[in-house]
Amino acid sequence: MFNFQGKAVLVTGASRGIGQATAIAFAQAGACVALHYSQDRAAAVAVQKSLTGTGHCVVQANIADAIAVERMAGEAIAHLGKIDILVNNAGIYQEHPLDKTSYSDWQQIWKQTLNVNLLGAVNVSYCVAKFMMEQKMGRIINITSRGAFRGEPNSPAYGASKAALNAFSQSLAQHLAPYHIAVTAVAPGWVDTDMARSILESSAGDAIRQQSPLHRVARPEEIAHTILFLATAESEFLTGGIVDVNGASYLR
């Protein structure tokens, strides 16, 4: 369905979950993919080896480290020769309900979550957008969350970071439009990933699945399909948009 032959893609957090599914989908559509990972090189290399086609690479960075991000983006561009599409997928989720969290833990978790989920994506976007502006074309797709709209009572830092990433996406979309760079966000609900599986397989799993009238959660491949659609040339007029992929579990 999609054809990204000759396109170069950087996917952050590509060693598992939505990032892995997205890398696989882009490679199947003909793109060369740089797979970013933070710690698990073996997992990233395993994904790389599974990809259709050749020319793919893995790049490492602690996404919360601005210097490491700049190096990583440079390595991806050097290997691929360019970056046409950026998918900011890397993120973390830590529970820290106010009534059960110490003040010191509260400070630490907020700082870490914002550094990864928001500033990490902001800095990768800066480094890649500078290159895209020179070639006057590109797509930036940020993975946010349903929690940005409905709230995350057990992880307020996560909800806040994703809401801020939505706002950043819209600001960047307006700024980069003259350069023919479209910026969008994808806001999934629950997705059957490694990060969520322990909860989905617990006693809470059935209630989570019932949040959607489809009585299930999303598959990573469904999120990847939406990402690829937003990366197409035909999606330019969607710039600034935030696409909900939550099975009608939350409507706004």
- pLDDT at position 65 is 98
Catalytic residues: 158
- pLDDT at position 218 is 96
Bridge partners, 138 (sequence order): 181
The pLDDT confidence band at residue 195, using thresholds 50, 70 and 90, is confident
Please state which of the ranges 165-174, 188-197, 227-236 shows the lowest mean pLDDT. Answer: 188-197
pLDDT digits (tens, 9 = 90+) for 23-39: 999 999 999 999 999 99
Query: Does the residue 207 lie in any domain?
Result: yes
Question: In the structure encoding, which two tokens stand for residue 21, read together?
Answer: 């599914």
Average pLDDT over residues 235-249: 98
Query: Does the residue 104 lie in any domain?
Result: yes
Instruction: Give the mean pLDDT of the chain.
Output: 97
CATH number of the domain that residue 167 is part of? 3.40.50.720
Specify the number of domains making up the chain.
1
Query: Does the residue 143 lie in any domain?
Result: yes
Residue 196 burial class via C-beta count within 10 angstroms: exposed 0-12, middle 13-18, buried 19 and up: middle
Query: Letter for the amino acid at 108?
Result: Q
- pLDDT at position 199 is 86
Neighbouring CB atoms inside 10 A of 75's CB total 17
Query: Does the residue 202 lie in any domain?
Result: yes
- β-strand 8-11 against 32-37: which pairing, if any? parallel
CA nearest neighbour of 76 among 94, 93, 88: 88
Average pLDDT over residues 170-186: 98
Please tell me the distance from the alpha carbon of residue 194 to that of residue 185, in angstroms, as a whole number.
Answer: 22
Average pLDDT over residues 46-72: 98
Please tell me the distance from the alpha carbon of residue 50 to that of residue 99, in angstroms, as a whole number.
Answer: 44
Query: Does the residue 2 lie in any domain?
Result: no
Query: Does the residue 56 lie in any domain?
Result: yes
Please state which of the ranges 69-73, 104-108, 201-205, 244-248 shows the lowest mean pLDDT. Answer: 201-205
Where do we find the tokens 């950087």?
Answer: 10
Average pLDDT over residues 151-165: 97
Domain of 185, in residue numbers: 8-245
- pLDDT at position 196 is 82
Length, in residues, of the chain = 252
Please tell me the distance from the alpha carbon of residue 73 to that of residue 96, in angstroms, as a whole number.
Answer: 32
Query: Does the residue 251 lie in any domain?
Result: no
Question: In the structure encoding, which two tokens stand for residue 175, read together?
Answer: 């700024």
Bridge partners, 139 (sequence order): 85, 182
